[in-house]
């Protein structure tokens, strides 16, 4: 009889390195490691050797970078999805894409369970597990950090476990931030950030760019072209999704763009302080919004704010594969049909300054908007509009006057 197979969301860090032998010991199972590559760069190097050394039967490294951009990032750009005014959802968007691949491989391998190394405090446990439940409700979910049998509370406990089981692991002194990297962003938690009273040590912390004060003293102008809400070119050069985001990360990083320090509300209710670097993403969001201002009518733009808030909440909470998120994406696809054109921006020391937008779908009409009287607008038309628009105020004022005179 063949052993049970368990698919593990694998990063190669200490937690998942410990989880492999722990699963084999506690479940007598074959462990298949899966790393979802969403653009974390060199972090995937050497993973296969490490996974096999710690007891995995095999390792899948799935290149999900372009899928991450087209299937998750683009819908969020169309929705202007920003959590609590600052966070551009870098980790939130990536986890469902990774979890979807875990499910695909679990089904391919005939696995009975999926395991992840997220703790019981964080958001990722929710994002992974909601995706698994939505796509493969028959699969069991194993979350060691929530189990009494885990028995480990610290990094030292985990290192001792590996040593006791004769498993080699190169452990450096833990004096760095806890980070999550993908092609969209880099998050930082820990060290001085654990106290909200402390200013971040940006010279030690930043990796994708520089602080605004260290950015060039000369502004840089760029143009971005959009088609139906999707970015297609930078400075007139047509680029694929991955190439474009890499280029914008480089441009934004050197100009100190996209650094956010936030004390956010996690899904489970606690506050968490972190710093996010999202240089290219911040530029894309800003450019998309500028074009939307030009091309979207008043009523739709107002409702976009309402729909965006709900969409953001769903993404942050891991509710990607839900009917409501899919319906809201369909709405944003529709309203972005006219968000097409070119946006020019000036980047200067952490600031993004609009420098002009053009679109074949522009709703700006100079004849109407100009201070000079145009042919399409009769100023006298405002009389009737104001009388009707102000009627409730007039009626209320008359009622209050009658009461005061009694």
Q: Please give the annotated binding residues, written as ranges.
A: 9-17, 87, 92, 117, 119, 123-124, 127, 178, 187, 264, 276
Distance CA 31, CA 11 (A): 14
End-to-end alpha-carbon separation of the chain, Å?
A: 93
- Which tokens belong to 189? 């938690």
The DSSP element (H or E) to which 263 belongs, if any, is strand 259-265
Best CA proximity match to 91, nearest among 161, 210, 189, 235: 189
- The whole-angstrom separation of Cα 74 and Cα 231 is 8
Angstrom distance (rounded) from CA 404 to CA 393: 17
Q: Give the contacts of 317 (CB within 8 A, at least 6 positions apart).
A: 123, 126, 127, 130, 267
* Residues labelled catalytic: 15, 95, 124, 178
Identify the H or E element spanning 123. none
Q: If you write DSSP's letter for every residue of 29-95 in order, what string do you get? A: -EEEEEEEESS-GGGGTTHHHHHHHTT-SEEEEEE-HHHHIIIIIHHHHHTT--BTTTB--HHHHHH
CA 392 to chain centre: 44
Q: Which residues are annotated as a binding site for ATP?
A: 9-17, 117
- Return binding residues for L-citrulline: 87, 92, 123, 127, 178, 187, 264, 276
Q: How many CB atoms lie within 10 A of CB 220?
A: 15
Task: Tell me the sheet residues that pair with 274.
Answer: 262
296, 308 Cβ separation under 8 angstroms: no
Report CA dihedral (311, 317, 318, 324) to the nearest 10 degrees: -40
Binding residues for L-aspartate: 119, 123-124
How far apart, in whole angstroms, are the C-alpha atoms of residue 356 and residue 223? 9
* Cα separation, 7 vs 111, whole angstroms: 7
* Among the listed residues 6, 216, 237, the one whose alpha carbon sits nearest the alpha carbon of residue 115: 6
Other residues' Cβ atoms within 10 Å of the Cβ of residue 270? 10
Query: What token pair was written down for 84?
Result: 């609590």
């Amino acid at each position: 009889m063949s052993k049970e197979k368990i698919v593990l969301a694998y990063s190669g860090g200490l937690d998942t390195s410990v989880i492999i032998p722990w699963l084999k010991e506690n479940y007598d199972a074959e462990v298949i490691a899966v790393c979802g590559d969403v653009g974390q760069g060199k972090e995937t190097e050497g993973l296969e050797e490490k996974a096999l050394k710690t007891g995995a039967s095999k390792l899948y490294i799935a290149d999900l970078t372009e899928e991450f951009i087209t299937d998750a990032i683009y819908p969020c750009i169309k929705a202007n999805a920003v959590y609590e005014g600052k966070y551009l959802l870098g980790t939130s968007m990536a986890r469902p894409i990774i979890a979807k691949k875990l499910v695909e491989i679990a089904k391919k391998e005939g696995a009975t369970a999926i395991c992840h190394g997220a703790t019981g405090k964080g958001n990722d446990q929710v994002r992974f597990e909601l995706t698994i439940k939505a796509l493969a409700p028959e699969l069991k979910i194993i979350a060691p950090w929530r189990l009494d049998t885990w028995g480990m509370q610290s990094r030292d406990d985990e290192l001792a476990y590996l040593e006791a089981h004769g498993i080699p692991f190169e452990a450096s002194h833990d004096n760095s931030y806890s980070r999550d990297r993908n092609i969209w962003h880099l998050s930082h938690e820990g060290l001085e950030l654990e106290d909200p009273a402390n200013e971040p040590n940006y010279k030690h912390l930043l990796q994708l760019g520089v602080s605004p004060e260290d950015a060039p003293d000369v502004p840089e102008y760029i143009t971005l072209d959009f088609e139906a809400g999707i970015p297609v070119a930078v400075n007139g050069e047509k680029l694929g999704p991955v190439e474009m985001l890499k280029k914008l990360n480089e441009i934004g990083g050197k100009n100190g763009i996209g650094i956010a320090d936030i004390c956010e509300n996690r899904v489970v209710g606690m506050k968490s302080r972190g710093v996010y670097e999202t240089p290219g993403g911040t530029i894309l969001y800003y450019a998309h919004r500028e074009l939307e201002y030009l091309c979207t009518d008043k009523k739709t733009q107002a409702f976009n704010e309402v729909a965006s808030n709900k969409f953001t909440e769903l993404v942050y909470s891991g509710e990607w594969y839900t009917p409501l998120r899919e319906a809201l994406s369909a709405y944003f696809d529709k309203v972005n049909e006219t968000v097409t054109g070119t946006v020019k921006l000036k980047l200067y020391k952490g600031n993004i300054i609009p420098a002009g937008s053009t679109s074949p779908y522009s709703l700006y009409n100079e004849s109407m908007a100009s201070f000079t009287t145009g042919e399409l607008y009769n100023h006298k038309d405002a009389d009737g509009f104001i009388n009707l628009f102000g009627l409730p105020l007039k009626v209320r004022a008359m009622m209050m006057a009658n009461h005061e005179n009694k």
